[in-house]
Amino acid sequence: MMKRTIQTFLLITIMLFNSHCKGQTVEKIENHNIYSYKNGDSNGIGKWYKGREIAHVMGFQGMGWLERTEREEEEQTLKLLQNMNIQPGDTIADIGAGSGYHVFKMAPIVEKGQLYAVDLQPEMLAAMAVKKENNQQKNIILIQGTEQSVNLTENSIDKVLLVDVYHEFNFPFEMIQSIKRAMRPDAQLYLIEYRGEDASVPIKELHKMTEAQAVSEMKAAGLLLKQNIDNLPWQHCMVFVKG
């Protein structure tokens, strides 16, 4: 019964995605020859961008870790949402939303706006579809992205949230370009990554980032650091805007 329910809501997800993308122009992504390939860390994919090896994507099998009970204590998600200064009418995109840990905390705040939950994995989207139906939250729109596009309408987003996911993008330059197109002129991107400068943060090195590395990569795609809000236990809360 549960399997059938997930399949049903996954079909709804796909329908929503197709409806959202109808009439949009699909842009051809050019090969910028900006990546290199060499052996590296066992937690990496052997693909490098600006001196950083890209980490393996955490599969849907890790959904339980995303929903762990100690996550609020470790990451202080409520403080992160306060940092975002979310307004009731905002249009927000959670990129790499996973099981929807942050999505379903933001949805009640964005009571008059919309919340796009974007993920690559159908299993993650299916899990969020079930939660969405159970919670009767109509302001959440599920979108299946690709490795190079978030599949969002141009100039439509006020705030973008990326929590511990950017370092796993197989095509980071193309993804940030895609996100940038979706951002409105005064939009803000909140890049949340475990602090690579801090050896005491108990996370594998490839799943951490330094501020300097993040700034370099975002600048290459046309985004500039506005502020790094230094009030989370283990993570950077870096706010980027269009340059």
Q: Residues 44-60: pLDDT tens digits?
A: 999 999 999 999 998 88
Query: What residues contact 50, with CB distance under 8 A and at least 6 apart?
Result: 34, 213, 216, 217, 220
What pLDDT score does 29 carry?
A: 46
pLDDT at 61: 82
- Sign of the Cα pseudo-torsion (153, 140, 239, 177, in order): negative
Domain assignment present for 154: yes
In a domain? residue 25: no
The answer to whether residue 30 is domain-embedded is: no
Which CATH number does the domain housing residue 82 bear? 3.40.50.150
The mean predicted confidence, pLDDT, of the chain is 89
Using CA atoms, how far apart are residues 171 and 167, in angstroms rounded to an integer?
Answer: 10
Q: Give me the amino acid identity at 34.
A: I
Q: How far apart are CA 3 and CA 130, in angstroms?
A: 11
Reported confidence tier of residue 219, pLDDT bands at 50, 70, 90 = very high
Q: pTM for the whole thing?
A: 0.88
Domain count for the chain: 1
Q: What digits encode the pLDDT tens for the residues 121-174? A: 999 999 999 999 999 999 999 999 999 999 999 999 999 999 999 999 999 999
**74-114: pLDDT as tens digits:** 999 999 999 999 999 999 999 999 999 999 999 999 999 99
Question: Has residue 91 been placed in a domain?
Answer: yes
- Its domain, for residue 153, covers 2-20+35-242
Q: 10 Å Cβ neighbour count for 31? A: 7
CB-based burial label for 14 (10 Å; 0-12, 13-18, 19+): middle
Say if 47 falls within a structural domain.
yes
Tokens for 127, please give them: 């899990």
Alpha carbon 213 to its chain's center? 18
How many CB atoms are closer than 10 A to CB 73? 10
Q: What is the Rg, in whole angstroms, of the alpha carbon atoms belonging to the chain? A: 17
Asked, for residue 26, whether it belongs to a domain, the answer is no
